Amino acid sequence: MAVTDEAIEKVKAMITSGALRAGDRLPREADLAADLGLSRSSLREAVRALSLVNILDVRQGDGTYVTSLQPNLLLEALSFIVDFHRDGTVLEFLRVRRILEPAAVAMASERITDTECKELRALLDGLGPDPDVDDLVANDVEFHRRINACSGNTVLCSLLETLSGPTTRARIWRGLTQAGTKERTLAEHRAILEALASHQPEVARSWATVHIAGVEQWLASVP
């Protein structure tokens, strides 16, 4: 293991063991390096690396702190990386989304309120029968975001928020090129919503799988 990698693992171990908690300030560099059996330069590189992925927060003139470790903060770094992937990997993101999102939809069906269902219905009704593709996709993103939030699982919700971005262009492309996409998307959204409103987790899970798999299968077939 490289010296910097070893340093990163030792600092991470302090956090996962509870020796350092969210919001804690790290000991002075010299003291921490001595305690961990590291050189100050390797510790400095580890701190720099962990700050890039939002685990540590380096405050100039104040010290280095463990961040809040909230899922949305930690996943910002993943989102930054995801933004640089080219279209060839979009299919992989869709496959991961197809695995995770139906679980979130099933969880949401057990927790969603009548008010939240009413708001989702108003969101879909606001589109009209023949929306522009851009409007349809924006509505689609918001529809899924609200449902995922209803799952009550902040880690899952943050992961899905991160995965949504790279697939947006694929959804627009599909809407522009595949006949019947608008009608199919609207119908599937209605089916998901009805399953949510009637609190049927397995039906909701099935419709969510069909919905996401449709985009995945289409993209896989594009030359």
pLDDT tens digits for 109-168? 999 999 999 999 999 999 887 888 778 888 988 999 999 999 999 989 888 888 777 666
H helical segments located in the chain = 3-16, 29-36, 40-52, 71-82, 90-111, 114-125, 133-150, 154-177, 181-197, 201-221
Q: What is the mean pLDDT of residues 62-83?
A: 66
Give the residue, 209 or 69, on which the prediction is more confident.
209
pLDDT category, 88, cuts 50, 70, 90?
low
Distance CA(83)–CA(25), nearest Å, equals: 31
Closest among 70, 76, 50, 56 to 155, alpha carbons compared: 70
Whole-number mean pLDDT of the chain? 83
Least confident of 83-87, 95-99, 149-153, 209-213: 83-87
Tokens 């219905």 — which residue?
Answer: 121
CA distance 94 to 89: 9
CB 158 within 8 Å of CB 109? no
Q: What is the pLDDT, as a whole number, of residue 86?
A: 47
Structural domains of the chain ordered from first start: 3-66 (1.10.10.10), 73-221 (1.20.120.530)
- The more confidently predicted of residues 149 and 218 is 149
pLDDT in the model for residue 4: 67
pLDDT tens column, 182-214: 888 899 999 999 999 999 999 999 999 999 888
Query: What pLDDT is stored for residue 87 in this prediction?
Result: 52
User: Is 74 or 31 the better-scoring residue by pLDDT?
Assistant: 31
pLDDT at 196: 97
Q: Whose CA is closest to 211, among 144, 151, 159?
A: 144
**The pLDDT of residue 61:** 86
pLDDT at 172: 63
In the chain, what percentage of residues exceed pLDDT 70? Answer: 83
More confident residue, 23 or 166: 23
Cα Dmax for the chain: 67
**pLDDT value for 80:** 45
